[in-house]
Amino acid sequence: MHPITFIELIHTWGMILSLAGIVLGPFILNLGMTRKSTPSSLFFLTLGGVIALTGVIGLSMSFKQGESKLKAALQGPVGKPLDMSFTELASGNQGSLATWSGKVVLLQFWASWNDDASPPMRELEQVLAELGGSDLAVVALSDEPRDVLLAQPSVPQGLVRGTFELETLPMPLRGMAVMRPVSVLIDQQGIVRGVFVGRRTATFLADQIREYL
């Protein structure tokens, strides 16, 4: 079993047991109050109180953990390294973002099912003309087959192209890339600093990149 799956399983059972404690606690307390024997009554009252209190504490902790997971999901990949696979168009080999370690990377996805399926080559060309150099890599990835991309007209010099499959994108980038192009800005340490959904102007992209060069 994957470690993350195991942890999620424990978290789920923790919530179930906490809810069970909250439900059973008052029942046992009531049972203790109806007992005629003082020792027996004290035992059930203590047991019921401990179970109910444990259930409340456990449920509170579960909600806090769920809240932190929700915040992480909403934040997406920003502030984290990005791990994904793609195929380099020129060589046909498996590509890796580690190739550009120490550089700022503008990674742009577009797909054939996007509302605006035409690749934003003009914007990327302007970004390269303004900021292109040894400290910047601009990578454009498409879901189109490699032979289709190779048959397209010439692209801006310095632009790295490749193909990707939607399933290889980590969430929530996978959901973002379905309807519109998505641009991801990665700093020189390999950390995602920005995710921009939709087609953006060259001026906007250049302003975002310049901060990390």
What is the Cα–Cα distance from 122 to 195, expressed in whole angstroms? Answer: 20
Give the pTM. Answer: 0.60
User: What digits encode the pLDDT tens for the residues 158-187?
Assistant: 888 888 877 777 766 766 656 677 889 999
How would you class 107 by CB atoms within 10 Å of its CB: exposed for 0-12, middle for 13-18, buried for 19 or more? buried
How are strands ordered across the β-sheet holding 94-95? 94-95, 86-88, 159-163, 136-142, 104-110, 182-186, 192-197
From 116, 150, 120, select the one nearest 138 (Cα to Cα).
120
pLDDT given for residue 28 in this prediction? 64
Residue of 62 and 209 predicted with greater confidence: 209
pLDDT given for residue 67 in this prediction? 47
User: What digits encode the pLDDT tens for the residues 72-82?
Assistant: 444 567 778 88
Angle made by CA atoms 97, 100, 103, in degrees to the nearest 5: 125
